[in-house]
Structure formats: structure tokens, C-alpha cells
Structure 1
Amino acid sequence: MTTVDRHYIDGVWVAGQGGRTVPIMNPATEAPIGSVTLGSPADVDLAVAAASRAFEGFSRTAKAERLDLLRALQRALEARIEDMAQAISQEMGAPITLARNAQAGCGPRHVAAFIAALEALEEEYSLPNGDTIRKEPIGVCGLITPWNWPINQIAQKVVPALAVGATSVLKPSEHTPLSAEIFAQCVHEAGYPPGVFNMVFGDGADVGSAMSRHPDIAMMSFTGSTRAGAMVSRDSAETVKRVALELGGKSANLVFADCDLETCVPASVRRCFLNTGQGCNAPTRMLVERSCYDRVLEIVRETAESQAVDDPAKEGPHIGPLFDKMQYDRVQMMIDVGLQEGARLLAGGPGRPDGLGTGWFARPTVFADVGNDMRIAREEIFGPVLSVIPFDSEEEAIRIANDSDYGLAAYIQTGSAARARRVAAQLRAGVVAINGQGAGAGSPFGGYKQSGNGREGGQFGLEEYLEVKVMPSIDAMVAAGRFTAP
């Protein structure tokens, strides 16, 4: 059993002023593997005060110094890949192969991408009219991250703040504290000054709200549900903070008859089920051209039925359990909703897979003949559930894809480059993948509509943590004799 009972504030691990302890659960066994002691608004106050003190000096550090620190952080994260992977696998149920290669592995990759972005960043430059633009760190940043890709989201928020010279207070998910603790240890090992990075464990109601309302926090960056994101925006409004939100999705995957069905369709199904479907950008609506609809359904059914579900401690390409009982119950409820709405069950269905009576394992499920007005086509299920919707024309496919409250990601499968360009330009989504190829590390990630605002990753991610200052060119003023001394 692992006990997490300290917050990281001002460069040291300190006991909190909260006291409520909650278990850390293994979703594959339904048994506790440890506990975490949650913080309080008083702990937030201490962390913000430390970040505010540190900002005065850290905001003035040279780019070269910040680059050296980022490289040290990258080395520290690389050295802890296996520890991080084991923690993530145990606390949120990601199969160890996925946890090692994608979940933990993305941390150093994101740092590398931000190093490249910082090297290319012009912190001061001239406008065509001769004025000078300065990019300066925004201040103390409040960062709230979820449980489903814990290190991915921590890295996408903490690292750009560190890169530009901002300071931060992180509230990781209280459900995945083990990986967050390792990340904080890596920041400490990298040699960042005390107070530059702080971490307070806690829930949204106490710690999250205290951060959003805090007058000394200049910016909030939140990843999670659309409902919770709206609450962060409301709490932040009184102090007129900058708010960046990465929220839900119901991403459409447009499958045209001219694509390589035997390659694109199985890959699309597996992408939907990745991380047990617990991804905001999962392609959970498969829109299929009617001329190939029957063949696609055959491939989808075969792929779903062959999708292995097993113990996350085992190596391999299987999927693991859902995160917890609440998530399991919601997925089961939405499968029942699909049946009640009259969608045709193509694979899977209610209950656990055979042989997995313990743990929050769900059956990979596919519904065919889905209407885009059904709840299973409109609501984010966050589980291994795919809805297949037929269409008759390219125009109809685009209309159905865009008929959503969300706009995080979209996917296109086609053999025509012209169609790929034409359709991608009309999809209302922040990220478009084509024939299985998505964006790489360092590209912007974020969405339209209720999928949030702002972007994470690379140059665009740095900009979220920067203020813009304009002033006249001092060199031009010197040349014009506007000063009496150099």
C-alpha cells in the first residue's frame, strides 16, 4: 500500500492543512493500492504564495537557462519511464504496454517538442510599423488535469509554463496521484528553483475551485468534462483570468467507399477502443458511405469481436478495465440507452467479458444503424462503444459530422487526396486525422465549440502562457535623438 500524504510546495514536500483521505483504487481488482490525503484552500494559498514569490525571479531568466532546465527535466522523465508506466497501469488501468509506450512515454516527447518550440520562439521582435513586441510570461498559472491520460496532460500544461518563465500550481486528478508524484520528483531533480512548480492534491470542489477563484492566479488551464470546464470559467470570471479549456468530444470518422477498407476500418475500430475508449478525441461516431456499408459492418464486427480485454498487468495490445465503478456504470447505462433507442447491436453489449468477473471491464461494443439524433451518437460515453451511422453523399457526411455540440477531432478515410482536402476544410474540428495519420508532438491540440478553447502543444501551447506587450522601438528613438543618454 502506498501513502501519498504530502503536497509539493515551495520546493519541499509538506503535510497539508486538509486531512480528508481517499483510497487509490486498482480498477482491475477493485481493491485499494494506497491512499492520498487531499488538500484544502489553505494549501492552495500556500502554493500560490510560493509561486508568486518565485515568479519575480524566474520570469526574468534567460531562454538558455530555461532550455537547460527543460533538458534536465527530459532526462529525469526518461529515467523514470518504467516507474511512471507501472504507476499509471495500477492507478487507472492502462495495459502496461500502452502505459509504457504511450502514457508514460509521451512525457519526454512533449518536453522535447516544447524545447524545439522555445528555441524557435521570438521573445522580442519588431512589427512592420517599427514598434517592438515583447512576449512575457503571464504570471502564476493554475493547472487542473484529468485521470485518463495523466502525464500527457500534466506535461502539456506544466512544461510550457516552465518553458516561458511562468510559475504554476498543479492540481492533478486525485484518482491518479502516483504518476503525478513521480512527475513532481522529476521537476525537483531537474533543479527548478523553489516555488516555480507546486502541486496540491485535492478534488475539484475544494482545491480546484479555490484555484479558479484565487486573485493571485493569472491563468487557469483545465482538461476534463465540458460541465466541469464551464464551472472553472464561472469561478474564474470574477478575477478576469485567462482560461484555457480542453474538454469533451464526440469525434466523427468519415469512411468513404474509395478508401482501403481492409486497412482503414480495423485501424479505426482499434483507435476507438484505445485506452478502453477513455479519450476525449476517440473516433466514436463512424460515418460510413452506404455503398460500402454492409462490408464495413462485417469488418467492424470482426474487429470488435477480436479485441482482447485482459489484465492491465499483462504485456500486449489488449485493452484494460474502465477507470472506476462510476465510469463502468455510465458505460453500461449508455449501452442500455442504445438498445432502447433501437440501434442494432453489432458486437458486445451489456456486462463484463467472459472470464473477467472482477474489475471494471466492459465488452467492446458496436451499434449499427445509428441515427445522429440518438443519445449514443451525441453524448460522450468515454468507454469502448462505437456508433456506426450510414450516409449517402459527401455533403451529408459533412453535415452529420458537424451536427454535434463538440468539435475536438475528426477523422477521414478516403483514397482521394482532393476529397481529403475538400472534406477536411469543412469539418468543424480542431484536429483532423487522415487515413490513420494524425498530428505529431508539437502540433496544436484543442477543439471548436463545447470542446473548449485555446490550444496545447508546441508553439501554440507556449502562446497560452504568454502576455503580449507593445512599445516603441528604443533603438529607433536613440537614432532619432529622443534620449539624452545611451
Structure 2
Amino acid sequence: MKNYEKLFIGGEWKKPTTDKKIKVYSPHDQSLTGVAPEATNDDIDIAIREAKQSFDSGAWSNKSPEERIQVIKKFNELHSEKANEFAELITSENGSPIWFTKGLQQSLKEQTNAYIRAAQNYKWEDKVNDYQIIFSEPVGVVAAVIPWNARHQSALVKIIPALLAGNSVILKLSPETALDGLALADLFVEAGLPRGVLSIIPAHREASEHLVLHKDVDKIAFTGSSNAGKSIASNAAKQMKRFSLELGGKSASIILENADFSSVVQSLKFQSYGNNAEACIGLTRILVPKSRYSEFEAEMAKMVKAISVGNPKDENHFIGPMIHKDQLEKVKSYIKLGEEEGATLVVGGLDPIEGLEQGNYVRPTLFGNVSNNMKIAREEIFGPVIVLIPYDTVEDAINIANDSDYGLSGGVWAKSQEEAIEVARKIRTGMVNINEASAGFDAPFGGVKESGVGREFGSIGLSQYIEYKTINI
């Protein structure tokens, strides 16, 4: 069991202002995974004060980009050495299957390397002509607020570019997964990050709101639900505070008539049901040509029926439990709603899984003959409930894909790459994967509409933590 007695504030382990505790329970069997202090408004105030003082002192913000890069390089090496150890902790906390957390943790070295490359190639001082220089400067104090589903990925995709740009950072952890975030702290200290620059604190909603509303926070970087993102954007606007939001999704994958269905289905196993389908980028609306609908549904049904569900620490299981009981009940309510709306329950449903009644388990579910106006096709479920939507023409499929409040990700499957690209260009979303392609870390990631504001990854992600100053000579 992991047990933390102190909060990491301003680069040091400090006694919290109260004795409030956060208990983290395994979603597999409800056993106690660990305990961490719960940050209150007073702890938030201390962290913000430390961050502002460190920023104003120039201890980090005035260092050269190369000096900052060297610290991040050292952190990256230390972090990558513990990839499997962190993966096991995260799986214990949030129920993500170990095959997923190991793969994701091992990929984070390259995610950080992409930011390092961006910082090395960035024009921090750009003399655009004989009388004008553009200086790229840090925003100030950054509040990074992350969810529980993709832990270190969500944390580092914000911390790393913010630090490379010279900002001071407060990382606010989700209480459901308070342990693995605190485990990052000592690595930054060992890497040489100066005192005061970074705080890592788990907190509930009240303290989180206090953080994002604080007058001395200059930028909010948030990943989470669209509703929470709207609230942050509204409050930030009142203070003219910078913000970037990576929010929800209900992404569509368009299967063209000439696609190789066998290949499509095997990839959708990962792109739709991966990480227990608790993923904003998951392809949860599968658009299928009516001319081959029955054939595709049969292929998908065979794949979903074969998905192994069970203890997430066992690599033989593809899907683990939902993060907590509330999320489990939410997913089950959508399965019930899908049946009430008239969709065909192809695989899965509400029956409990024998031997797993103590955990937050739900059967991987597939609905067929779904209309895009059904709630199971329009609302983000954040669980293993995928829908098949028949379409007539390619233009019809594009219209269905775009008929959504979200626009985060998407997919196109076709025999011809050129044909797939042409369709992908017409989908209004921040990212589209063609066939088996997956995202890299140098190109921007983010969404349109209710899927967010701003971008992460690479040079564009780095720029989200920079202010530009023009000096006219």
C-alpha cells in the first residue's frame, strides 16, 4: 500500500494544513490501494504563493532554454526507468489494464522528447527585421488540472511544456488517483528543478475551483469533461486568464465499402475498447455502409464477445473495471437507455459478470442499427459501449460524423489512402486516423466544438504556455 503523509508544495514535502485524507480504493476488489493528504484552500494558497515567488524571482523563468531543457532531459530519463513500476501503481488506482498502462508509460519518454525537440528548435528570440524583435516569454503561474483515466500522460503533457517555457506549475490531481501523481515529485527534485517551481497536490472540487479562480494563476491547462471545461472557460474569461481545454469526445469512424473488415475490427478493439473505453479519443460511433452492414456487425460481434474482462493486473485481460461505482452506474444507465431507444443489443448488456461482482465491472457492449439522434450516439458514455450506425452514401457518413457536439478524434477506413484522406478532410474534428494509423507526439492534438480549445504536443503544444512580446527598436 502506498502512503503519503505530506503534500509536495513548492518543490518540498510539506505538512498539510489539515489532517484530511484521501483514501484510494482498487476498482477491482475495493481493497485500499493507498492514502494521501487532501489539499484544502489554504494548501492551494501556499502552493500559489510559492509558485508566484519562484516565478518572480527568475530562479527558473530566467534560466536559458538550454538550461531548462537539461533538467527536463534528466527527469525524462529518471521517469522512463520507472515506467513499469508506475504502470502497476496506476492500474491499482484506476483499473486500467496493465497491458495498456505499460504501453502508455513506455511511450511517454518519446512524448517528452518531442517537447524537448520543440524547445530546442523554438525561436525564443526572433529578429523579424532590423527594428523588431519578438521575445517568447513564460505565461507565469500555470494550474494544470488532470483527470483519472490517463495519468502520467495527462500530467506530463502539461507539466513538461509549461516548465520548458519557464513557467511555475501547480499540478492538481484527481482524488481517485492521488498516488501516482505524487510519485512524480522526487523525480523532478532529483532532476534539478529549483525550489518553488512545482507543486503536486490532490484535491476535491472545492479546492480545485479555488485554484482555477485564484487571481495569481495566469494560465489554466485542463483535461476533463466538457461541462467542467465550460465552467473553467467562463470563469477564466471574467479574469482575462489564459486557458487551454482538452475535453470530451464522441468520435466517429467511417468504414468505407471497400475497407478490409477483418483489419478494421481488430484495430477497433484497441481504438474503441482500449483503456476500458474510458478515453476521450475513443472511436465510439462506428459508421458502416448499409450494403455491407450485416457482414460488419457479425465481425464486430465476434470480436467483442472474445474480449476478456477481469483483474486489470493480469495481462490476459483486455478490459478491467470502471474507475468507481458512479461511473459503473452511469455506463449501465446508458446500456438500459440504448435498449429503451430501440437500438439492437448485439453483445453485452447488464448481466453481471460471474466472479467479478465485487468490482466495478460491466460487460463490453455493442449496439447495432443505431440512429445518430439516439442519446447513446450523441452523449459521451466513457465506458465500453460502442454503437454501429448504418449509412447510405459517403456524403451521408460525413454528415453523420459531423452531426455531433464534439470534434476530438475520428477514423476513416478505406482501401485507397487517397480516398480516405479526401473523406478525412471533410470531417470536422481535431484529429483523424486513417486505417491502422496512430497519433504521434510532434503534431498537435486537441479538438473543436465541445471537445476543447487549444492544442497539445510538439511545438504548437509548447506555444500554449508562451506569451509573445514585441520590442520595436
- AA of the residue aligned to 2:152: I
For residues 264-311 of structure 1, what are the alpha-carbon distances to aligned partners after superposition, in whole Å with 9 as ceiling and x for unaligned? 122113321101100001000000011111110010000000111121
Contact 2:421–2:434 under 8 Å retained in 1: no
- AA of the residue aligned to 2:313: A
Shift of 1:317: 5.5
Contact 1:106–1:151 under 8 Å retained in 2: no
Q: Give the Cα separation in 2 of the matches to 1:295 and 1:356.
A: 32
Shift of 1:182: 1.3
Q: Give the Cα separation in 2 of the matches to 1:294 and 1:199.
A: 51
Select the residue among 75, 79, 94 that pairs with 2:77: 75
Contact 1:413–1:434 under 8 Å retained in 2: yes
Map 1:259-278 onto structure 2 (within 5 A). 259-278=259-278
Q: Give the Cα separation in 2 of the matches to 1:9 and 1:436.
A: 43
Q: Give the Cα separation in 2 of the matches to 1:223 and 1:123.
A: 27
Contact 2:431–2:447 under 8 Å retained in 1: yes
Q: Give the Cα separation in 2 of the matches to 1:183 and 1:291.
A: 52
Map 1:201-350 onto structure 2 (within 5 A). 201-205=202-206, 207-316=207-316, 318-350=318-350
SS of the aligned residue for 1:50 comes to: helix
Shift of 1:128: 5.8
Contact 2:269–2:304 under 8 Å retained in 1: yes
Contact 1:432–1:438 under 8 Å retained in 2: no
For residues 147-167 of structure 1, what are the alpha-carbon distances to aligned partners after superposition, in whole Å with 9 as ceiling and x for unaligned? 000110000000001111111
Q: Give the Cα separation in 2 of the matches to 1:316 and 1:71.
A: 34
For residues 430-483 of structure 1, what are the alpha-carbon distances to aligned partners after superposition, in whole Å with 9 as ceiling and x for unaligned? 0110002022022211100000100011111110000011122x4xxxxxxxxx
SS of the aligned residue for 2:91 comes to: helix
In structure 2, the partner of 1:420 is 420
1:115 aligns with 2:116: yes
Question: Which has the larger displacement, 127-136 or 317-326?
Answer: 127-136
In structure 2, the partner of 1:167 is 168
| Closer/same/farther in 2, CA of residues 18 and 108 from structure 1, 3 Å limit | farther
1:66 aligns with 2:81: no
In structure 1, the partner of 2:95 is 93
- AA of the residue aligned to 2:125: E
Shift of 1:129: 8.1
SS of the aligned residue for 1:284 comes to: strand
Contact 1:213–1:238 under 8 Å retained in 2: no
Q: Give the Cα separation in 1 of the matches to 2:253 and 2:193.
A: 43
Shift of 1:130: 5.1
In structure 2, the partner of 1:181 is 182
In structure 2, the partner of 1:11 is 11
Q: Give the Cα separation in 2 of the matches to 1:393 and 1:362.
A: 34
Contact 1:95–1:316 under 8 Å retained in 2: no
Shift of 1:90: 0.3
SS of the aligned residue for 2:183 comes to: helix
In structure 2, the partner of 1:410 is 410
Consecutive unaligned residues of structure 1, counting only runs of 5 or more, are 475-486
- AA of the residue aligned to 2:290: R
Q: Give the Cα separation in 2 of the matches to 1:129 and 1:326.
A: 61
In structure 2, the partner of 1:39 is 39
Consecutive unaligned residues of structure 2, counting only runs of 5 or more, are none
Contact 2:11–2:185 under 8 Å retained in 1: no
Contact 1:44–1:210 under 8 Å retained in 2: yes
Contact 1:9–1:199 under 8 Å retained in 2: yes
For residues 19-54 of structure 1, what are the alpha-carbon distances to aligned partners after superposition, in whole Å with 9 as ceiling and x for unaligned? 332320100002222222211111111111111111
- AA of the residue aligned to 2:227: R
SS of the aligned residue for 2:153 comes to: helix
For residues 102-145 of structure 1, what are the alpha-carbon distances to aligned partners after superposition, in whole Å with 9 as ceiling and x for unaligned? 1x223322211111111111111133685221111110101100
Map 1:85-164 onto structure 2 (within 5 A). 85-102=87-104, 104-127=105-128, 131-164=132-165
Shift of 1:419: 1.9
TM-score (norm 2): 0.97
- AA of the residue aligned to 1:90: S
Contact 2:244–2:455 under 8 Å retained in 1: yes
In structure 2, the partner of 1:451 is 451
In structure 2, the partner of 1:479 is none
SS of the aligned residue for 1:176 comes to: helix
Question: Which has the larger displacement, 180-189 or 336-345?
Answer: 180-189
Question: What percent identity do the matched residue pairs reach?
Answer: 34
SS of the aligned residue for 2:231 comes to: helix
SS of the aligned residue for 1:469 comes to: strand
TM-score (norm 1): 0.94
- AA of the residue aligned to 1:388: L
In structure 1, the partner of 2:375 is 375
- AA of the residue aligned to 2:21: T
Question: Which has the larger displacement, 399-408 or 207-216?
Answer: 207-216
